[in-house]
């Protein structure tokens, strides 16, 4: 019975991912998901109380898969901390490209946490989300990928590939915010009508080098030299 339950839950989640990808969250109804998965509407509601509960379950799965990406990088043999973070800067945008709905749900949850952590804005969150058991689980586990990222920074400081004066938590969250911004800007820079001359082919290595230089400490400000001359 547990195996059958897991199979049906997977069918419903897979159906939701497919429909959210093609129609979007707002336009997708629970009956659409039930029909697409071949499971009755009543049974769909048995596993997930509403669409918001289903989306929180999808977000929980997204974080689990996201954590696996971090874990694989961290457990790879022969890499120092800087190399781990450099690989992560490649794998996160790749994860977003292959799993856009999952990645969007992760970013959506991070935005949700801003409202949840502020007493003045928590009431703006849909009560159906707050009442979801999957939301409660997410509160417990959403920091797990970042914990591994912090360990990568700590490893880099220990093995000498990252500057020793950096604070691991601050450093990782700064790097992660840079990667999120990098992934978001990939779309705009691919637009052929832009006036700024940049493309993914030259930005990726440039982004990687800047990130590595920042972490290694090889970026140094150079004070301009004032050259005095005479017109005569």
User: CB within 8 A of 163, min separation 6: which ones?
Assistant: 157, 215, 216, 217
Q: Which long-range contacts does 159-164 make (Cβ < 8 Å, 24+ apart)?
A: 159/80, 159/81, 160/80, 161/80, 161/81, 161/82, 161/83, 161/215, 161/216, 162/81, 162/82, 162/85, 162/215, 162/216, 163/215, 163/216, 163/217
pLDDT of residue 96: 96
pLDDT of residue 122: 96
Q: Are 64 and 147 in contact (CB under 8 A)?
A: no
pLDDT of residue 232: 33
Average pLDDT of 195-217?
Answer: 88
Flag the least confident range among 8-12, 40-44, 199-203, 221-225: 221-225
pLDDT band at 117 (very low <50, low <70, confident <90, very high): very high
The two three-digit tokens of residue 194, written as one number: 């832009």
End-to-end CA distance of the chain: give it in Å, rounded: 95
Query: How far apart are the C-alpha atoms of 108 and 33, rounded to whole Å?
Result: 21
pLDDT band at 199 (very low <50, low <70, confident <90, very high): confident
pLDDT of residue 125: 97
pLDDT band at 176 (very low <50, low <70, confident <90, very high): very high
pTM: 0.86
Evaluate if residue 138 carries a pLDDT over 50. Answer: yes
Evaluate if residue 228 carries a pLDDT over 70. Answer: no
Q: Which long-range contacts does 26-35 make (Cβ < 8 Å, 24+ apart)?
A: 30/54
Average pLDDT of 89-117?
Answer: 96
User: CB within 8 A of 204, min separation 6: which ones?
Assistant: 90
Nearest CA to 166 among 178, 177, 154, 176? 154
Give the domains, in start order, of the chain with CATH numbers.
Answer: 1-48 (1.10.10.60), 58-216 (1.10.357.10)
Nearest CA to 66 among 41, 96, 87, 31? 96
Evaluate if residue 187 carries a pLDDT over 80. Answer: yes
pLDDT of residue 170: 97
pLDDT of residue 222: 45
pLDDT of residue 39: 92
Evaluate if residue 230 carries a pLDDT over 90. Answer: no
pLDDT of residue 184: 92
3-class DSSP state for residue 213? Answer: helix
Q: What percent of the chain has pLDDT over 70?
A: 91
Residue 143 has phi, psi (to 5 degrees) of -85, -5
Evaluate if residue 150 carries a pLDDT over 70. Answer: yes
Q: What are 55-101's pLDDT values in tens digits?
A: 999 999 999 999 999 999 999 999 999 999 999 999 999 999 999 99
Q: Which long-range contacts does 38-43 make (Cβ < 8 Å, 24+ apart)?
A: 38/11, 39/8, 39/11, 39/12, 43/8
User: CB within 8 A of 212, min separation 6: which ones?
Assistant: 82, 86
């Amino acid at each position: 019975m547990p195996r059958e339950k897991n199979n049906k839950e997977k069918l419903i989640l897979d159906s939701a991912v497919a429909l959210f990808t093609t129609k979007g969250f707002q336009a997708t109804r629970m009956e659409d998901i039930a029909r697409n998965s071949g499971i009755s509407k009543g049974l769909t509601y048995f596993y997930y109380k509403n669409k918001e509960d289903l989306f929180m379950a999808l977000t929980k799965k997204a974080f689990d898969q996201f954590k696996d990406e971090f874990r694989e990088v961290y457990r790879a043999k022969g890499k120092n901390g800087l190399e781990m973070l450099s690989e992560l800067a490649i794998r996160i945008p790749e994860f977003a490209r292959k799993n856009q709905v999952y990645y969007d749900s992760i970013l959506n949850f991070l935005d949700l946490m801003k409202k949840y952590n502020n007493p003045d804005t928590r009431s703006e969150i849909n009560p159906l989300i707050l009442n979801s058991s999957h939301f409660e689980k997410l509160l417990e586990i959403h920091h797990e990928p970042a914990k591994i990222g912090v360990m990568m920074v700590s490893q880099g400081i220990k093995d000498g590939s990252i500057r020793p004066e950096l604070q691991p938590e601050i450093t990782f969250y700064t790097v992660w915010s840079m990667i999120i911004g990098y992934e978001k800007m990939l779309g705009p820079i691919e637009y052929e009508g832009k006036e700024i001359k940049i493309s993914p082919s030259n930005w990726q290595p440039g982004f990687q080098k800047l990130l590595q230089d920042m972490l290694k400490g090889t970026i140094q400000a150079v004070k301009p030299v004032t050259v005095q001359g005479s017109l005569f």
